[in-house]
Amino acid sequence: MKLLPLRGNGECNMEPLKVGVIGCGVISSVHLPIVSELENLVAVCDIDEVKGKKIADIYNCKYYKNYEKMLKKENLDVIHILTPHNIRYEIVEKAIEFKTNIIIEKPLAHTYEEAEKIVNLINNQNKIKATVVYQNRKNDSYIQLKKELKEEKFGKVLGMESTVFWKRDMNYYKDSPWRGKKSESGGGLLINQAIHTIDWMQDIGGDISTLSGKVFKLKNKELDIEDTCSFSILFSNGVEGFFSGTLTNFKNSSVMLSIYCERGMYSLRDKSLYKKEYTNNIEKKIITDEVGAVKDYYGTSHKKIVENFYSSIKNNTSNYLPLEEGLKSLKIIIDLYKEDNNL
């Protein structure tokens, strides 16, 4: 990234950031259009040559099979780590060596210990910035919910409940076999799908007092990951929460988060925020999220996360989600795996 002459307003004009993407799986279809729109997509990396070269041709960029070679040759400003969860630590190590800023898709790693090591690596240096993608925190509906709760429009929060009822059959795992291997993914429903919803719960509830739950495998018995879970959680402030989720539903239903307050309740579902006062029991829609160009259920918040991070690099600010936030929901998930694993 080179500094160019100052604009008339005194701000520093810069060339586009040089960006590389490591991992060309499903989630890359969300990241790649954003990168190519906002900055300079220089290279992609994937161990699958056919897939990697095809994507490189589409975006008119270079292809690498080895991420170390990409980091060494391209002098990148940023990499997006979209790989299987179990190899992210080693990539972060190399990125720091080459002074390359990092965007990591959730979760940080396949284990809490490895995620902590990643956070410590970043915190023990001052060469680069790093963030984790919890894009749902940037949804307009969630931002409005946090505002309403802070202003205590319905009084204090008493409790919450959330559901994730999705369908993931064996075709999902055949497309990317690592998803069904705990040694590579870290788990199933909780760490791959429900982590965003658990992040919402933790972000609203805060520190945790007690956690208790059950983890199950109802279908796809040949896999060593869970597809179903329920848990209850008590936060230190006295707020109670309950979660129920499965990947064995007959369809992908909307994720739902309900927040119960003293005088009314809120419901996040179908990309919208609703509220209802207990006195009249009439539900009203407050706001609807902007629909994403790639996949509707992703919305536009991936772009907001990436855009904020790029801006922070250019302006040397900290206007992005710190990696420590990625540890919080991951700890809940790993604690549930440790407490009860009925696989």
- Residue 339 has a pLDDT of 82
Instruction: List pLDDT tens digits, range 279-332.
Output: 999 999 999 998 765 554 455 799 999 999 999 999 999 999 999 999 999 999
Are 61 and 165 found together in one domain?
no
The model carries a pTM of 0.93
In whole angstroms, what is the distance from residue 304 CA to residue 320 CA? 10
Of 134, 166, 191, which closes a domain?
Answer: 134
What H or E segment, with its residue span, contains residue 3? strand 3-6
- Residue 127 has a pLDDT of 87
Are 234 and 280 found together in one domain?
yes
Q: Is 25 exposed, middle or buried (0-12, 13-18, 19+ CB in 10 A)?
A: middle
Supply angle C-alpha 11, 13, 14, rounded to 5.
140
- Residue 149 has a pLDDT of 98
- Residue 31 has a pLDDT of 96
In whole angstroms, what is the distance from residue 76 CA to residue 70 CA? 8
- Residue 3 has a pLDDT of 42
Count of structural domains, the chain? 2
In percent, how much of the chain has pLDDT > 70?
A: 93
The CB-based long-range contact list for 150-157 (8 Å cut-off, 24+ gap) reads 152/261, 153/261, 153/264, 153/275, 154/261, 154/262, 154/263, 154/264, 154/265, 154/266, 154/275, 154/277, 155/261, 155/262, 155/263, 155/264, 156/261, 156/262, 157/204, 157/205, 157/239, 157/259, 157/260, 157/261
Return the exposure string of 123-157: e unless at least 16 CB atoms fall within 10 Å of the residue's CB, then b.
eeeeebbbbbbbbbbbbbbbbbbeebbeeeebeeb
The yes-or-no verdict on residue 341 having pLDDT over 90 is: no
Of 115, 134, 153, which closes a domain?
Answer: 134
Taking a C-beta distance cutoff of 8 angstroms, is the pair 227, 218 a contact?
A: yes
Are 114 and 34 found together in one domain?
yes
Residue 314 burial (CB count, 10 A): 18
Instruction: List pLDDT tens digits, range 89-130.
Output: 999 999 999 999 999 999 999 999 999 999 999 999 998 999
- Residue 300 has a pLDDT of 72
Q: Where are the extended beta strands (E) located within 141-291? A: 157-165, 208-216, 228-235, 240-246, 256-261, 264-269, 272-277, 283-288
Taking a C-beta distance cutoff of 8 angstroms, is the pair 118, 89 a contact?
A: yes
User: What is the DSSP track for 66-94?
Assistant: -HHHHHHHH--SEEEE-S-GGGHHHHHHH
Q: Which domain holds residue 224?
A: 136-289+323-339
The yes-or-no verdict on residue 13 having pLDDT over 80 is: no
Q: How confident is the model at residue 340 (pLDDT cuts 50, 70, 90)?
A: low
CATH number of 175's domain: 3.30.360.10
- Residue 342 has a pLDDT of 60
Are 212 and 330 found together in one domain?
yes
Mean pLDDT of the chain: 93
Instruction: List pLDDT tens digits, range 24-74.
Output: 999 999 999 999 999 999 999 999 999 999 999 999 999 999 999 999 999
Query: Is 162 a member of any domain?
Result: yes
Query: Is 317 a member of any domain?
Result: no
The yes-or-no verdict on residue 200 having pLDDT over 60 is: yes
Are 41 and 108 found together in one domain?
yes
Are 183 and 240 found together in one domain?
yes
Residue 139, helix vs strand vs coil? coil
- Residue 291 has a pLDDT of 72
- Residue 1 has a pLDDT of 52
Query: Is 306 a member of any domain?
Result: no
Instruction: List pLDDT tens digits, range 255-282.
Output: 999 999 999 999 999 999 999 999 999 9
Are 64 and 141 found together in one domain?
no
Average pLDDT over residues 184-190: 97
Q: Map tokens 């009314």 to a residue.
A: 264
User: What is the DSSP track for 142-179?
Assistant: HHHHHHHHHTTBTBSEEEEEEEEE-B--HHHHHHSGGG
Instruction: List pLDDT tens digits, range 213-234.
Output: 999 999 988 999 999 999 999 9
| CA-derived radius of gyration, the chain | 21
